[in-house]
Amino acid sequence: MDVSEVARAADLLEAQGRTLVELGRGLERELVRWVPSRGGWCIAEIYGHLLDEETEDFRLRVASTLEDPGRPWPGIDPEARVAGRDWASRDLAATLESFAAARRDSVAWLREQTDADWHRIHLHPRFGAIGARDLLASWLDHDRLHLRQILTRLHDASDLIVEGGETAYAGEW
């Protein structure tokens, strides 16, 4: 990866972070704590997970791989963290502010990686060879996966917003 690719990735992480934060602002308490009948995380838990991943996963693992690809990564258990930290009962506005601050720090750090060797590979016991550039690509995509998940929750919760409202006119979901 050259400097322009890293800068582009930083720009995208910054923009996606802003999008995630803006999407979460102003959502009603009932809506952010609503869990679909099929299960899964509520919106508040998704945002808590995003904060956890920002502070305890992606940036740390990219940095570790760039600095010393042979160093073992600390273990993580996203499901257990979300449940144990009880993100569903926390104030979403505070979570959003913490996520925004952590993302700013991550983007600033990423912009400093002008001389990094993005070809370094970490050998993960479960996933095998993971390059620093793979982690960066995954970080970007992780945002998008959870953007989709949040939008799906909002779509699925339409009845909480307009009870009995039919959404077929909106178009194919």
Tell me the DSSP string of 133-154.
Answer: HHHHHHHHHHHHHHHHHHHHHH
Strands in 25-159 per DSSP E: 121-124, 128-131
Q: Residue 112: which pLDDT band, with cuts at 50, 70 and 90?
A: very high
Q: What local confidence, expressed as pLDDT, does residue 167 receive?
A: 80
Q: Are 50 and 79 in contact (CB under 8 A)?
A: no
Of 5-14, 134-143, 164-173, give the lowest mean pLDDT range. 164-173
Whole-number Å distance between alpha carbons of 44 and 24:
9
Is the pLDDT at 158 greater than 90? The verdict is: no
Count other C-beta atoms under 10 Å from residue 33's C-beta. 16
Count other C-beta atoms under 10 Å from residue 154's C-beta. 17
How far out from the chain centre does Cα 106 lie? 12
Q: What local confidence, expressed as pLDDT, does residue 164 receive?
A: 79
Whole-number Å distance between alpha carbons of 168 and 34:
22
Is the pLDDT at 165 greater than 80? The verdict is: no
CA distances from 32 to 37, 49, 137, 138, 145 (A): 15, 14, 28, 25, 17
Question: Among candidates 154, 142, 141, 137, which has minimal Cα distance to 23?
Answer: 154
For the entire predicted model, the pTM comes to: 0.94
Whole-number Å distance between alpha carbons of 6 and 111:
7
Is the pLDDT at 150 greater than 80? The verdict is: yes
Span 139-153, average pLDDT: 97
DSSP state letter for 122: E
DSSP state letter for 71: S
